[in-house]
Copies of this chain bind each other. A is one copy, B any other.
């Protein structure tokens, strides 16, 4: 009955949802870069994140952080001082996700090594060059 890897096509319409949801998490400009930055610093405040990504707008950065928080990837901790301090770090899900990103990265690297003629094109390259190159 077309069972491969434990999944039945008849159940796919229900099952693709979590997978697609997870993929959607990573989608869009900056998302993987945000995760990468938080990973390398363990904890980062909003302003620190923004400094690392001069070309991102506060609006999009906020959107991404809210999305990752509501997905349970990031933990948002707010110090109710004036001015406020908000820190972002990984939840357990966040650490799971980073491990998965490592595998994605590893596969992408394997591909680019085994077939340098056919690299996966990064579609926000021009953007990044434009706006980050000068810094």
Total identical chains = 2
**Distance (whole angstroms) from the CB of A8 to the closest CB of chain B:** 9
Looking at the assembled complex, report how far the CB atom of A44 sits from the nearest CB atom of chain B, in whole angstroms. 12
Q: Are A122 and B2 in contact (CB under 8 A)?
A: no
Residue of B nearest to A100 (CB): B107
Docked complex Cα distance between A118 and B75 (Å): 14
Contact present for A19 and B96 (CB under 8 Å): no
Beyond A9-B36, A16-B36, A16-B122, 15 additional pairs, beta carbon < 8 A: A2-B41, A4-B39, A4-B40, A5-B98, A17-B122, A19-B105, A19-B108, A20-B124, A21-B120, A21-B123, A22-B111, A71-B120, A96-B107, A97-B107, A103-B103
